[in-house]
Structure 1
Amino acid sequence: MDSTIRIIAKAVTWQIAGLFSMTVIGFLFTGSIVAGGGIAVAGAASGFACYFVHEKLWSKVSWGRDTHRV
């Protein structure tokens, strides 16, 4: 099992990799690093918000949960 600090480090490095790759993709489409970075930040923020809402909605669904475990 990973420690909490390891999980946080993995999440941060994953986010950095995602921001970098989205900046490059944004740059390729727009020709601007600033616009590419803006697209990356907006994508990260909207992805976080959508994931949060998605998790909140799924927390209300009981389908697939093993309720017999101790």
Structure 2
Amino acid sequence: MILDQIIFSKKAQSKGFEKDKSSEKPLRSVLKALSWRVVGTLDTLIVSYILTGEIALATSIASVDFVTKLILYFFHERIWNKIKWGK
């Protein structure tokens, strides 16, 4: 899905279509999501460890949190990118 958007974007540009300057590329959204999730996951890991006192459990919680929230953030960004309000 992401690769389709990247490939389509490059094909559209090569065919002379005007590039949308107000829209982020999917790859940028992925990198933003990853960087934010690293920060968020470290927070979850620390809080989970403080609450449970078990590093294995805290790591498990942080791992699940990383994956689920990365996916949610990516789609959140892509939906907001389609909304014209405030641009």
TM range (shorter): 0.5 to 0.7
1:35 lines up with 2:54 in the alignment: no
Greater relative CO (CA pairs within 8 A, separation 6+): 2
1:45 lines up with 2:67 in the alignment: yes
State the number of aligned residues. 54
Unaligned runs of 5+ in 1: 1-7, 66-70
Structure 2 SS opposite 1:23: helix
Unaligned runs of 5+ in 2: 1-30
Structure 2 SS opposite 1:59: helix
RMSD value over aligned CA atoms?
A: 2.5
TM-score w.r.t. length of structure 2: 0.48
Query: Equivalent residue for 2:76?
Result: 54
Report how far residue 39 of structure 1 moved. Answer: 1.0
Query: Equivalent residue for 1:63?
Result: 85
* Counterparts of 1:43 and 1:22, CA distance in 2: 8
Aligned-partner residue type, residue 22 of structure 1: T
* Counterparts of 1:46 and 1:18, CA distance in 2: 12
Q: Does the C-alpha gap of structure 1 residues 20 and 51 become closer, same or farther in structure 2, counting only changes over 3 Å? A: closer
The share of aligned pairs that are identical, in percent, is: 26
TM-score w.r.t. length of structure 1: 0.57
